[in-house]
Structure 1
Amino acid sequence: MPSVSDTLPAPFITGIRPQGGFRLRDGQSQFLSAWAGALARGERNALGVFVPGYGKTITALASYLVAREMGIANRLVVFVPRGNLRDQYADAQELAFVFQSLGSTPPTYCVADSDRVFVKNLQTEFVVTTYQYAAGDRGNEALLEYCRQSKALFVFDEVHHLADEGTWATRLARFPHAASVALSGTPLRSDNKTLFGVPFDEDADGVQTYRALHEVTMRDAHEEGRILKRVDAHVVDYSVRMVNTESGEEVDVTLSELRQEVEASRDVDTYLARRKLRFHEVYLDALVGPAVARFQEKRGELVRALAKSGSLLDGWRDHQMLVIAMSNAHSAAILDYVKRRFPGLRAERIGQDVPLAERTKHLNDYREGRLDVMVQVDMIGEGTDIKPISVIVKADLVRALSKTLQQVFRGMRYVPSWPEEANRCDLYAADDSDVVETLRWLASEEKVGIKMRKESNRIVEPAAIPDQPERSAWALKSVRDAGRQTHRQEQFGRARSSRTFHADAPAPEAAPVQFDVAKKERELRLACSEIAKELAFGIDVPVSHVHAAWKRQIRGQAQADASVVALEKKKTWLERCLRMGRLV
């Protein structure tokens, strides 16, 4: 997760004392320097915009160290979407390593997504929780108590999930806190609702523009190199023949023509999208077929390149493919198509209609590289860090700029162990989804992030198609492939060398085990149990008598309800009893 550089020395930032050759990226340093300045001026809310893969987790932890050093905060609460918990914040050793690399002793740490550990350890310094748990009744009350006891810095990860008037934001607004940092790669919503806890400016026309302390754009990331893959976009057009079932009128139209006359052809477009077109064999042949062919070609190229360089070692990861369907029925149809046409590929699908246990297994297999192709309906989102995804088929109806970017980002994370040319994401889409406009935007000089809000005010997006199809007199009569265009973003320029760990750079020492409260609690319970058994044997009493003697001292609290602090006290008491040869 951390990175180092052999270039210029890192600038001084309050609370940050890099260790073991670690160095922040330029964008992280600029944000943190601006954050320290904002806190000194009395500002308490900030927004940072970072493209995926740039290191929002490091930025979040470093933001707390700055605020703690300045006496603003003494607790850290990171709010994340549920999927991000596993991919970005669940690894205690990784998080402890980041703190050490930043020059800090790792604080106590706890995942607050259930009551089992968190409510017993409200003295924990660093808490990671999900928006879902924080908004629920039990979680909300537990976090309210926690925040009342401390000066907490809140970090809102992927803040575009947090509409100011939404249920989550309403529940989070109860929590007192000293300051907050909002982080996102796309800090806007397709519904244009105001985001919670994000500073913004408003012009004379009432147009809101979010104000970021610092932005790292896609262009910045490409210039820095080895952060994002390049994107090759393949847009497929179709010629369709429609017949009016009431008048018998027949029309021939291409999807690109249909896209340019949205208002005039909305009923036809709705019928095409929901009833027939995306299930049509010609549609799948022209869209999914070339994507799979490119996927297999890329796999062969990668194997040959790695074998030639001697990098084809155990545990290496090959390219993976992601298909975004518009519905559960559609995902089932696409999976059936892939398995029929390409039986050599390991393919599965996940959706709300798939049983949870099966869904979890498929997702785990995909994460670990045991599946080649995943067909899904909006279930692999931001925070899901599967870097080998490098072919995406966009077969859904999403047209909003922010959501489309989040989908594309799933395949844009750079894979350091791959050759430069292998780090390209191939995106396939039909010309009826307006994805062309987004791809043009990706290739432009426009920034990703805060300025996107201004851009979205100039782009009139077609109205979202409802889940239930509108009635239409038009029926689909035939479909044929009308060609495709490929867009490559060559304007990003040559990527500079990345920042990686030097082979001879000394690594920080291993993190202390007490960093993870849940782990420490398990260790203390086991230690107390073993010492109690030894003590009971030595003084010739049942072990239950030992535990009962402790319960009397603490007025009846069961060991199962004990916090880490209480368990440490019990362990000390047991050790003292063992030394003295009696219950004291």
Structure 2
Amino acid sequence: MEVGYSRKEIISLGSGNKVSQCFDENGEEYSHSEVITSWRKYYKELISRNDGEIGLRLPQFGALSAIRAHWATSSAPATVVLPTGTGKSETMFATIISEQIGSTLIIVPSNLLREQIFEGASHFGVLPKVGMISEGIIHPTTFLYKAKFKDEQILMKTIESSNIIVSTPGMIKSMKTEILEQLLKKIEVVILDEAHHLGAPDWQAVRDKFSERKILQFTATPFRNDGKKISGKIIFNYGLGLAQSAGYFKKIDFYPIQEFDENKSDEEIANVAVEYLRIDLDDGYNHVVLARANSTKRADELFEQIYSKYAEFNPVVIHSKIKAAERRENLKKVKSGEAKIVVCVDMFGEGIDIPSLKIAAIHDKYKSLPITLQFIGRFARTSGENLGDAKLVTNVAMDDLREAVEELYHQDSDWNKLLSIHSSQSIESEVNFGEFIESFEKIHANEIDLSQLKMKVSTRMFRYHSTDVLLDNWKKVLNPERTTFLINNKSSVYIFIEEIESRVVWSDHCTV
């Protein structure tokens, strides 16, 4: 097949839904086979191994290779860990086109990220710019699913014709049964972007629905927001230390203040952050201050009482309680550089590509190390011109933080070293734990989440000196019909869970 002409249109489907689609010279839609054939013909893999070379960065190529290796032997869910700023989105797009995946569902956590991924996926991001895609390509039919359709037949037709569907968990979960069944039949691969959200019920519900499909989970940290582990084998882990050594992250300068008066703390953080903004602007750097609050109410208070005073920097506030039109306008001001100060909650925590965010004024700290690592990583990215080193301003005098996070906020903390150390340690521990879980025999291991088994204070432990294990003897002590057994011969770990019913004095029913 020769493709001599391809015209791309973005078609509005109402209520914010839209589709990006290519047509031939006669205005006809391309067939599924024509699209995939063009990917096979006009995609060329390039790798940037040395300065001056263009193509996939080494972490992107490494992740792509790991995905191929995993799919050669398994269809089980897999997790790819790439620090913020190393090119996660392009890794997704390169996977889709190089593996010729005809139908992909990409799940993202927010509307801002949904719009951004839709825009990138519709033309495979920067892959054409680096010469990996030539002009004959037929770009994927990409569907942004944002709101319910009045005419469900249009929705079903759009799903059927789409190569890539970008949406949020809530939208997929709220689909009617017949539409969801069509989507289940259609989709080959599900990509969960920012997979640390898997602790949320909607995310887990979508993952469970598509459990028979290939699932790729991308994240900068393999921990859920609730602190629990992300299920799914980590097949590729590009550490923060490697990213810093490779130059994907700029230096992080830490400017702690010590203010014990809570009423003065916010004012002092803002004063220091704005002072460094002025210095950076005078030095020719196109920087923006992001002031982080832990709630929409706090964000409004910080904006109205403190940051609105800095009118020369056109400050804006962005959070979920603000009308969508105002959010879009304020975001546009930040991206264009018109607004040099933005007050927000978590709107910029993940996926939003604004390289000029270089000064973080943290009024309320994250208490989770993984989320802290991800948040700060957004400021240390090297992409963009006229950008200097990242700066972090916060009050270290008052806070009740977990040990690992607390160490970051010591007066003399070197964030460049500590971020790498803590990131590597936490992810290495997760990888080791995942290998330990994988060592259990599969009889019952898939039915029980072993990562959630915790020893309580009442646990009794005994030392066993013999090297011989009479494994079947447990049946003499426990009821085999009511006992689940989990065996890990490699680590000599054996878990037995017996169901026991007992009556309680205040009910006629039994508890298990």
TM-score (norm 2): 0.64
Q: Is the contact made by 1:287 and 1:393 (CA closer than 8 Å) also made in structure 2?
A: yes
Match of 1:185 in 2: 220
Tell me, in whole angstroms, the C-alpha distance in 2 between the residues paired with 1:355 and 1:125.
Answer: 32
Q: Do the aligned partners of residues 338 and 368 (structure 1) sit closer, same or farther apart at CA in structure 2, a change above 3 Å counting?
A: same
Q: Quick one: which of 230, 249, 257 aligns to 1:228?
A: 249
Q: Quick one: which of 284, 296, 299 aligns to 2:266?
A: 284
Q: Do the aligned partners of residues 456 and 442 (structure 1) sit closer, same or farther apart at CA in structure 2, a change above 3 Å counting?
A: farther
Q: CA deviation at 1:373?
A: 0.7
The SS at the match of 1:128 is strand
Match of 1:124 in 2: 162
Matches within 5 A, 1:84-163: 84-91=113-120, 94-95=123-124, 98=127, 101=132, 105-116=138-149, 118-121=155-158, 122-138=160-176, 142-149=179-186, 152-163=188-199
The SS at the match of 1:214 is strand
Q: Which amino acid aligns with 1:85?
A: R
Is 1:416 the equivalent of 2:384?
yes
Q: Which amino acid aligns with 1:437?
A: E
Match of 2:27 in 1: none
Tell me, in whole angstroms, the C-alpha distance in 1 between the residues paired with 2:310 and 2:382.
Answer: 27
In structure 1, runs of 5+ residues without a counterpart are: 1-13, 200-211, 241-276, 304-317, 459-584
Q: CA deviation at 1:378?
A: 2.4
Match of 2:235 in 1: 213
Tell me, in whole angstroms, the C-alpha distance in 1 between the residues paired with 2:425 and 2:218.
Answer: 11
Match of 1:488 in 2: none
Q: CA deviation at 1:17?
A: 2.5
Q: CA deviation at 1:81?
A: 1.6
Q: Quick one: which of 73, 78, 84 aligns to 1:52?
A: 84
Is 1:369 the equivalent of 2:344?
no
Q: CA deviation at 1:127?
A: 2.0
Question: 1:146-175: CA deviations, max 9, x gaps?
Answer: 22145x011111100112x72321244223
Match of 2:374 in 1: 406
Moved more, 323-332 or 377-386: 323-332
Q: CA deviation at 1:319?
A: 1.0
Q: Do the aligned partners of residues 38 and 171 (structure 1) sit closer, same or farther apart at CA in structure 2, a change above 3 Å counting?
A: closer
Q: Do the aligned partners of residues 153 and 356 (structure 1) sit closer, same or farther apart at CA in structure 2, a change above 3 Å counting?
A: closer
Structure number with greater CO (CA < 8 Å, separation at least 6) is: 1
Q: Is the contact made by 2:145 and 2:165 (CA closer than 8 Å) also made in structure 1?
A: yes
Q: Is the contact made by 1:219 and 1:447 (CA closer than 8 Å) also made in structure 2?
A: no
The SS at the match of 1:443 is helix
Q: Is the contact made by 1:144 and 1:175 (CA closer than 8 Å) also made in structure 2?
A: no
After TM superposition, which residue ranges in structure 1, 4 or more long, deviate above 4 angstroms? 19-22, 102-105, 115-118, 439-442, 455-458
Tell me, in whole angstroms, the C-alpha distance in 2 between the residues paired with 1:142 and 1:366.
Answer: 38
Q: CA deviation at 1:379?
A: 2.6
Tell me, in whole angstroms, the C-alpha distance in 2 between the residues paired with 1:452 and 1:335.
Answer: 36
Q: CA deviation at 1:52?
A: 1.2
Q: Do the aligned partners of residues 59 and 336 (structure 1) sit closer, same or farther apart at CA in structure 2, a change above 3 Å counting?
A: same
Tell me, in whole angstroms, the C-alpha distance in 1 between the residues paired with 2:272 and 2:279.
Answer: 10
Q: Is the contact made by 1:39 and 1:67 (CA closer than 8 Å) also made in structure 2?
A: no
Aligned length: 368
Tell me, in whole angstroms, the C-alpha distance in 2 between the residues paired with 1:40 and 1:66.
Answer: 14
Q: Is the contact made by 1:78 and 1:128 (CA closer than 8 Å) also made in structure 2?
A: yes
Q: CA deviation at 1:437?
A: 2.0
Q: Do the aligned partners of residues 335 and 125 (structure 1) sit closer, same or farther apart at CA in structure 2, a change above 3 Å counting?
A: closer
Tell me, in whole angstroms, the C-alpha distance in 1 between the residues paired with 2:238 and 2:182.
Answer: 36
Question: 1:388-410: CA deviations, max 9, x gaps?
Answer: 01111111142111222232233
The SS at the match of 1:168 is helix
Matches within 5 A, 1:400-549: 400-418=368-386, 422-431=387-396, 432-433=398-399, 434=401, 436-438=406-408, 443-444=417-418, 445-446=420-421, 448=423, 451-452=426-427, 454=429
Match of 1:10 in 2: none
Match of 1:39 in 2: 71
Q: Is the contact made by 2:240 and 2:424 (CA closer than 8 Å) also made in structure 1?
A: no
Question: Alignment identity in percent?
Answer: 20
Match of 1:575 in 2: none
Q: Do the aligned partners of residues 216 and 359 (structure 1) sit closer, same or farther apart at CA in structure 2, a change above 3 Å counting?
A: same
Tell me, in whole angstroms, the C-alpha distance in 2 between the residues paired with 1:334 and 1:327.
Answer: 11
Tell me, in whole angstroms, the C-alpha distance in 2 between the residues paired with 1:32 and 1:109.
Answer: 21
Q: Do the aligned partners of residues 97 and 456 (structure 1) sit closer, same or farther apart at CA in structure 2, a change above 3 Å counting?
A: closer
Tell me, in whole angstroms, the C-alpha distance in 2 between the residues paired with 1:75 and 1:327.
Answer: 38
Q: CA deviation at 1:426?
A: 0.8
Matches within 5 A, 1:207-356: 212-225=234-247, 227-240=248-261, 277=262, 280=263, 282-302=264-284, 318-339=286-307, 341-356=309-324
Q: Do the aligned partners of residues 442 and 132 (structure 1) sit closer, same or farther apart at CA in structure 2, a change above 3 Å counting?
A: farther
Match of 2:109 in 1: 81
Q: Is the contact made by 2:190 and 2:214 (CA closer than 8 Å) also made in structure 1?
A: yes
Q: CA deviation at 1:356?
A: 3.8
Question: 1:158-200: CA deviations, max 9, x gaps?
Answer: 100112x72321244223643121111112024223435x22x
Q: CA deviation at 1:298?
A: 0.6
Q: Which amino acid aligns with 1:132?
A: G
Match of 1:17 in 2: 44
Tell me, in whole angstroms, the C-alpha distance in 2 between the residues paired with 1:49 and 1:88.
Answer: 18
Q: Is the contact made by 1:187 and 1:450 (CA closer than 8 Å) also made in structure 2?
A: no
TM-score (norm 1): 0.57
Q: CA deviation at 1:19?
A: 6.8
Tell me, in whole angstroms, the C-alpha distance in 2 between the residues paired with 1:106 and 1:32.
Answer: 20
The SS at the match of 1:48 is strand
The SS at the match of 1:403 is helix
Q: Is the contact made by 1:153 and 1:177 (CA closer than 8 Å) also made in structure 2?
A: no
Moved more, 178-187 or 443-452: 443-452
Q: CA deviation at 1:65?
A: 3.7
Q: CA deviation at 1:382?
A: 0.2
Tell me, in whole angstroms, the C-alpha distance in 2 between the residues paired with 1:34 and 1:171.
Answer: 24
Tell me, in whole angstroms, the C-alpha distance in 2 between the residues paired with 1:34 and 1:327.
Answer: 39
Tell me, in whole angstroms, the C-alpha distance in 2 between the residues paired with 1:295 and 1:118.
Answer: 47
Q: Do the aligned partners of residues 340 and 131 (structure 1) sit closer, same or farther apart at CA in structure 2, a change above 3 Å counting?
A: closer
The SS at the match of 1:233 is strand
Q: Do the aligned partners of residues 36 and 352 (structure 1) sit closer, same or farther apart at CA in structure 2, a change above 3 Å counting?
A: closer
Q: Do the aligned partners of residues 93 and 153 (structure 1) sit closer, same or farther apart at CA in structure 2, a change above 3 Å counting?
A: closer
Q: Do the aligned partners of residues 438 and 329 (structure 1) sit closer, same or farther apart at CA in structure 2, a change above 3 Å counting?
A: same
Q: Is the contact made by 1:79 and 1:130 (CA closer than 8 Å) also made in structure 2?
A: yes
Match of 2:499 in 1: none
Q: Which amino acid aligns with 2:106?
A: V
Match of 2:438 in 1: none
What is the CA RMSD across the aligned residues, in angstroms? 3.3
Q: Is the contact made by 2:106 and 2:167 (CA closer than 8 Å) also made in structure 1?
A: yes
